[in-house]
Chains A and B, each alone.
Chain A
Amino acid sequence: MIEVRNVYKSFGSLSVLEDVSLTVQDEETLAIIGKSGSGKSVLMKHLMGLIKPDKGEVIVDGTDINAVSYQELRDLRQRFGMLFQGGALFDSMNVFDNVAFPLRTFSPLPEDEVRARVRENLAEVQLEGVEDKAPSELSGGMKKRVALARAVALKPQYIIYDEPTSGLDPETSNTINELIRSLSEQSNITSIVVTHDMHSVLSIADRAAFIHDQRIRWLGTIDELHTAEDPVLNGFVRASEYQIGKPAAATNK
């Protein structure tokens, strides 16, 4: 379980998060939604200590991640997998080595088992035969899938997805959403999805937290999202080309 307690963060004179509190329950999929620049990604980076709060606490499985040593924080981060917005694949390595990297670095597996695991992970994200390609040779959707294979290589307890479908065509977005959903269902992973893609939220999330004006303005289940009466939230959702209560949306979940 991850608990964010009264977190404040500003960069220079720009306040990004103010008194943000949030709990991510085990095995749920929580979507953090909000406009671009609303602080979603900053909040997400707090969850694994990539950014430290000015005030407040982030508790992961009972440990305040900002009160432990750097070594302990790094050990803790190994419980996480993270899918970055642009994939963040290491461009000095090919696809195979990218996926193998966490296994070779952190697991005691011998090289032949690493090879088998990498193939298995790539097959899971429906990518085969691209092992020798450089990341620059891949399309946006393929990069995200390789990054997803790398993120789950060490079988993490938590996966954080940063804008998993941004910049992708609707069909590829659906594939990524399907992968995220099947991953969380199969492996009992706790997922945190940072996105402004409402279609994605409705397809994969159990709950959603809406960030607006540096604060969490609304938090509830996807069913509650349909009946929410917050005008700002409704405005955001409608602007995302989703009409609350539309049957098409309801069938996505």
Chain B
Amino acid sequence: MLERHILGPIEALGQYVLLLSKAFRSLGEFGIYQKNLFQQMVRIGIDSIPIVALAGLFSGAVLTVQTAYQLESPFIPQSIIGSIVVPSMVLELGAVVTGFILAGRVGARIAAELGTMRVTEQIDALEAMGLNSIGYLIVPRVMAGILMFPVLYITATGVGIGGGVGVAHYGGFLSAGEFVAGARQFFSPFDPIFGLIKSFVFGFIITSVACYKGYYTGGGAEGVGRSTTEAAVLSCVYILFANLALAVLIL
């Protein structure tokens, strides 16, 4: 019991770190896996744009309506709505909403894909051919995550702010001009940089945790199901912790 609860997670962490160090060491032969990187950038990044944009759009719109509702006072200038919505999207919502959506969409997909490859011996087949399966399967996915998550973050944040402006303007809360003026008033150039740092970290967490869970899947179809769920759930939990840690450390 004690062994399972205390040593289990330590062993898992060790295995995860070892996997990543093997992945790092295989960067030297990246030329062979380059094609996979582009393929994964499309699957992880480009294919996720619609859902991420949709989530961003609604987050920005709802945030605007609720902020307007909370600040309904003749003593508060309406432009303050823009001052709240834009930094909230840039600092927090853009990255976190993207992270949660992709933990499900990308994390589960990677874990299911690699888990199935493991249980059907496709990973053994790669190794048996003399290929470095970690370099071939994991490096392109994690790199695609790190490279594409910032793009998705920018998409979610941009569309979210657009959604906020749209709802503010057409919902009769404040004009687009006022919204933008409010946003510019308190704009700090570091905010988007912080959001980008978050998205890099979230991209790494989601793809590396999913790769780890998928790569070490055992136990047939049930094992694949377990890995997939764990990849999605653990990615969300680690995103929450990383989110707090980054805010405390950097801001």
Q: Which residues of B contact A76 (CB under 8 A)?
A: 130
B72 on interface, CB distance cutoff 8 Å? no
Considering residues B32, B121, B130, which has the most beta carbons from chain A within 10 angstroms of its beta carbon? B130
CB of A106 within 8 A of CB of B129, answer yes
Contact status of A50 and B122, CB under 8 A, knowing A77-B129, A78-B130, A106-B129: no
B13 on interface, CB distance cutoff 8 Å? no
Q: Which residues of B contact A106 (CB under 8 A)?
A: 129-130
B42 on interface, CB distance cutoff 8 Å? no
Q: Which residues of B contact A75 (CB under 8 A)?
A: 130
Interface residues on B, range: 10 to 19
B127 on interface, CB distance cutoff 8 Å? yes
CB of A80 within 8 A of CB of B128, answer yes
**Per-residue 0/1 for A160-188: is the Cβ within 8 Å of any B Cβ (1 yes, 0 no)?**
00000000000000000000000000000
A242 on interface, CB distance cutoff 8 Å? no
Q: Which residues of A contact B127 (CB under 8 A)?
A: 50, 77
Chain A minimum-CB-distance residue to B125 = A88
CB of A90 within 8 A of CB of B129, answer no
What's the nearest-Cβ distance from chain B to residue A178, in Å? 24
CB of A77 within 8 A of CB of B130, answer yes
Across the interface, B124 reaches (CB within 8 A) one of A74, A80, A88, A91, namely: A88
Q: Which residues of A contact B128 (CB under 8 A)?
A: 48, 50, 77, 80, 82, 84
Q: Which residues of B contact A139 (CB under 8 A)?
A: none
Chain A minimum-CB-distance residue to B39 = A92
A105 on interface, CB distance cutoff 8 Å? yes
Contact status of A74 and B125, CB under 8 A, knowing A86-B120, A88-B120: no
B46 on interface, CB distance cutoff 8 Å? no
Interface of B toward A, CB cutoff 8 Å: 32, 116-117, 120-122, 124-125, 127-132
Interface of A toward B, CB cutoff 8 Å: 45, 48, 50, 70, 74-78, 80, 82, 84-86, 88-91, 101-102, 105-106
Residue pairs across A and B with Cβ atoms less than 8 A apart, 19 shown, are A45-B124, A48-B128, A50-B124, A70-B132, A74-B131, A76-B130, A77-B128, A77-B130, A82-B125, A84-B121, A84-B125, A88-B122, A89-B122, A90-B125, A91-B120, A101-B129, A105-B129, A105-B131, A106-B129
